[in-house]
Amino acid sequence: MERTGYADYWELLKRHALPRETANYVPIIVAMTIMGKNPADYGLEDVVLDSAVEYDSIRLTAATNINLVADATLQPLSVIRDLNPSLLTTVAPAQAPRKSPHESTFIEVGGRKITITYGRPYINKRTIMGGLVPYNEVWRTGADEATTLRTDVDLDINGLKVPEGVYKLFTIPKENSWTLIVNKTAKQWGAFSYKQADDLGRTEMTVSKAGAPVEQFTISLTPEGSSSATLKMAWDNTVASVPIKVAP
């Protein structure tokens, strides 16, 4: 709208000045939003909504034939192209590598597996705590997607009962302590869609000073006996830790 000088979306639509995906999807989204607020006004009061779609995101590290994408998703090639109008050929270009690598760390406690998957940003000559990571605000605890906890056993995280399942881990860093948040919405990018109402719960973490600056954000799980462990998060000069054990 800034580029064309028009202040009205519908005027732009009439003049065919919009990319195809915008022209196709925006009216649908607007209509769905209006009907969703008052479904009974549109004869939709008996409609039962499906649960949210579960999905995985995959980054392409090499040029990929989109016929393979269509086969893997059980969709016609035309559908893949409609969803991605920029794919003018049958080859999807490779995506740039992530600036922050993503890794998983895991441990077996009581014979069951606990896995944490997260993005690992670097200091890169930046002020981290109180700067890039503000104090007293919810942090994704890494980079890109929020950090994921997958546990095959019921846990007790410093008094917080966490049933077997998949969760997002957020934190609220403070100067002398951190708050660990276990959130029930397992698919989230960053903390932009974080809702406290979806928290399973919160618990406090102990903060100490690292013996030497930790250049790359690191999460570790260290065994403490046969049925417990210590979860540590370290970056720059800060280490936050919390005890984990198998729930009785």
- Phi and psi angles of residue 193, each rounded to the nearest 5 degrees, phi first: -105, 10
Average confidence (pLDDT) over 8-31: 66
Element (H, E) at 228: strand 228-246
Which tens digit of pLDDT belongs to each residue from 187-212? 777 787 888 999 999 999 999 999 99
More confident residue, 217 or 24: 217
pLDDT band at 53 (very low <50, low <70, confident <90, very high): very low
**Total structural domains within the chain:** 3
State residue 42's pLDDT score.
74
> 213 and 118 in one domain?
yes
38/153 same-domain check:
no
Q: Is the same domain home to 209 and 229?
A: yes
Q: Is the predicted pLDDT of residue 56 greater than 70, yes or no?
A: no
Rounded to whole angstroms, the Cα distance separating 236 from 239 reads 8
Query: What range defines the domain where residue 20 resides?
Result: 1-49
pLDDT of residue 97: 65
At 162 the pLDDT is: 95
Same domain, 148 and 165: yes
pTM of this structure:
0.62
Q: Would you say 228 and 113 are in contact if contact means Cβ atoms under 8 Å apart? A: no
